[in-house]
Amino acid sequence: MSGHSKWATTKHKKAAIDAKRGKLFAKLIKNIEVAARVGGGDPAGNPTLVDAIQKAKKSSVPNDNIDRAVKRGSGLEAGGADYQTIMYEGYGPGGIAVLVECLTDNRNRAASDVRVAFTRNGGQMADPGSVAYVFSRKGVVMVPAEGTDEDTIMEAVLEAGAEEVTAMGDSFEVLSEATDLVAVRTALQEAGIDYDSADSVFYPSTQVEVDEEGARKILRLIDALEDSDDVQNVYTNFDASDEVMAALDEE
């Protein structure tokens, strides 16, 4: 599972970078708006909205912004956009598989941004289905390590459908089928265990090992893709050793 560990580490690192760039708020607000549009504005009957709101609050998005996003999404306030989810596929440097998940109200702009990012950073876009088979939908819940341990978490979530619990330094990653994500999250809540995030993600079935230069190149591509406001998530199947990631951290 080391490949996924690097993937999750990269995701957390990227979240911090996005926050500095002022892009994280916009993406979190967009998620809330879409969740409210799809499942209604009442969190009591919309677990996706609950997660979107929680994630926004943990990232210090002001409550007023959250409330307005819920109202726009549920039609109680004007100004909501018609967002569409679009997936793009491509290859990064070294043949790394890349899935780009966009949430946009302008397909042409999103496609252009993604294409430019690939072209300028040693990658190329690919036809639908070219790399999607490398990934499958999984549920990932991140639990802060403080105050709990791997055995306690596994005991709480095993019957809810969790497949494994992996130590990630200052947190634990709980992996499940995407269809079991809500059950796993609920099991944690009922056991009194706090969690940082609960997401349905695209999880790579195989990883490609890269050296320091390879990791630098693929992270540069991820940076460029996530610079677009339309890009919500970038998934890859690259793997890198702890030593490689530590070397990049020092740069």
Contact call for residues 79 and 85 (beta carbons, < 8 A): no
pTM value > 0.85: no
Domains and CATH numbers, the chain: 9-74 (1.10.10.200), 84-128+207-250 (3.30.70.980), 134-204 (3.30.70.980)
pLDDT digits (tens, 9 = 90+) for 9-54: 455 555 655 655 567 888 899 999 998 988 888 888 888 888 889 8
Say how far apart CA 73 and CA 14 lie, in whole Å: 27
In sequence order, which residues have a C-beta less than 8 Å from that of residue 225 and are 6 or more positions away?
98, 100, 114, 117, 118, 231, 234
pLDDT digits (tens, 9 = 90+) for 207-237: 889 888 999 999 999 989 988 989 989 999 9
Distance (Å) of CA 251 to CA 94, 121, 224, 245: 21, 19, 18, 10
